[in-house]
């Protein structure tokens, strides 16, 4: 069976991957977006469509502002493959991926990698203990599952940590974060 | 909250746990007070850390299949989850 070929393959359906897809499809290029999550949005706009239904205020206006980009992405005519993990790219621009337990190979003229960023944790004694997690992980639990922690202690002073604490504190999903 | 009024039932190390239909598996277990998902070398306990599929600290065994990332899974009624324990390294120097 011939491998499927695309002019553009974008890896990642977060803000960058979605914006790239808007640009390439507008230019008339056949584009596929591959993402390992179940829904578009990446980490920043994670679970946005579901949260819009109830609009919990603790997620903040900038989060809901992502709805415009998400809607444009849904309407732009791109081929979108969620739940699909890329594990190799060869020098022939073959992209090896796994989807629903099945392996596939696709090829591309151009590949745009939009896999985003990960946090750089500062290891301290005990940082791998259950109950210790990155602030990004805590924020994901809020967005994905409306799960906060009443007795959370925040360590650090980065912007993500501050925004997450502000999200948790007035939300009622988990209350008295300290730091 | 992914609360559509439906509850599904999971088994975690043999214990019955109720979860919201559609909930993320790692979140459902944390909600039920289960934070210890696996053991690493030297039997260190590990649990969800990044919640976005990159740290692999939340690995569990699901329906007999090891190395599943709980933070990337959705609960399903009847799901059987086991803590994933590091291979027995008794007698080996573990650095």
Query: Using one digit for the tens of pLDDT, what is the confidence trace for A59-93?
Result: 888 899 999 999 999 999 999 999 999 999 999 99
Chain A: closest CA distance from residue B65 (Å): 12
**Chain A touched by B54 (CB under 8 Å):** yes
Is B24–A144 a contact, with Cβ atoms under 8 angstroms apart?
yes
Partner residue opposite B35 with nearest CB, options A38, A54, A130? A130
The pLDDT value given to residue A141: 93
User: CA nearest A129 in B: which residue?
Assistant: B46
The residue with greater pLDDT, B4 or A16, is: A16
Taking an 8 Å cut-off on Cβ atoms, the answer to whether B52 and A141 are in contact is no
Interface contact flag, A130 B46, Cβ < 8 Å:
yes
Over the range B7-30, which residues count as b (16 or more CB within 10 Å of their CB) and which as e?
ebebebeeeebebbbbbbbbbbbb
Q: Is any Cβ of chain B less than 8 angstroms from the Cβ of A48?
A: no
* Residues of chain A contacting residue B51, judged by C-beta atoms under 8 Å apart: 133-134, 136-138, 140-141, 144
The whole-angstrom distance between B49's CA and the closest CA on chain A is 4
Give the pLDDT band of residue A159 (cuts 50, 70, 90): confident
Confirm or reject contact between B45 and chain A (CB < 8 A). yes
* For B31, nearest residue in chain A (alpha carbons): A147
- Measured in angstroms, the CA of A31 and the nearest CA of chain B are apart by 25
**Is B45's CB within 8 Å of A129's CB?**
yes
pLDDT at A59: 87
Is 90 exceeded by the pLDDT of residue A149? no
Confidence of residue A177 (pLDDT cuts 50, 70, 90): very low
Nearest to B31 among A131, A138, A147 (CB): A147
Average model confidence (pLDDT) across chain A: 88
Higher pLDDT, B95 or A23: A23
Mutate: best of B50, B53, B70, partner A, most A CBs <10 A: B50
Band the pLDDT of A156: cuts 50, 70, 90: confident
Is the pLDDT assigned to residue A142 strictly greater than 50? yes
* Section A164-176 average pLDDT: 54
Secondary structure of chain A in HEC code, one letter for each residue: CCCEEEEEEEECCCHHHHHHHHHHHHCCCCEEEECCCCCCCCCCCCCHHHHHHHCCHHHCHHHHCHHHHHHHHHHCCCEEECCEEEEEECCCCEEEEEECCEEEEEEEEEEEECCCCCCCCCCCCCCCCCCCCCHHHHHHHHHHHCCCCCCCECCCCCHHHHHHHHHHCCCCCCCCCEC
Name the pTM for this structure. Answer: 0.87
Is residue A13 scored above 70 in pLDDT?
A: yes
Q: Which residue of B has its CA nearest to A85?
A: B53
Predicted ipTM? Answer: 0.87
* Alpha carbon distance B62, B82 (integer Å): 7
């Amino acid at each position: 069976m011939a491998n499927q070929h695309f002019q553009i393959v974008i890896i990642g359906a977060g803000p960058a991957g979605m914006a790239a897809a808007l640009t390439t499809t507008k230019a008339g290029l056949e584009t596929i977006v591959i993402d390992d999550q179940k829904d578009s949005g990446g980490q920043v706009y994670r679970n946005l469509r579901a949260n819009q239904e109830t609009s919990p205020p603790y997620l903040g206006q900038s989060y809901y502002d992502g709805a415009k980009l998400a809607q444009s992405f849904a309407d732009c005519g791109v081929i979108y493959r969620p739940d699909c993990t890329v594990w190799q790219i060869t020098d022939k621009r073959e992209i090896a991926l796994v989807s629903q337990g099945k392996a596939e190979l696709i090829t591309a003229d151009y590949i745009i990698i939009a896999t985003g960023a990960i946090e750089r944790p500062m290891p301290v004694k005990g940082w791998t203990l259950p109950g210790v997690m990155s602030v990004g992980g805590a924020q994901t639990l809020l967005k994905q599952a409306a799960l906060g922690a009443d007795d959370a202690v925040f360590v650090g002073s980065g912007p993500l940590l501050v925004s997450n604490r502000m999200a948790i504190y007035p939300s009622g999903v988990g209350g008295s974060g300290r730091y | 909250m992914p609360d559509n009024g439906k509850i599904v039932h999971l088994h975690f190390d043999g214990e019955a746990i109720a979860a919201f239909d559609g909930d993320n598996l790692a979140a459902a277990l944390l909600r039920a007070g289960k934070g210890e998902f696996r053991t690493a070398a030297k039997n260190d306990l590990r649990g969800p850390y990044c919640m976005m599929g990159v740290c692999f600290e939340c690995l569990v065994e699901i329906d007999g299949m090891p190395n599943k990332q709980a933070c990337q899974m959705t609960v399903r009624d009847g799901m059987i989850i086991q803590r994933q324990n590091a291979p027995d390294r008794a007698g080996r120097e573990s650095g």
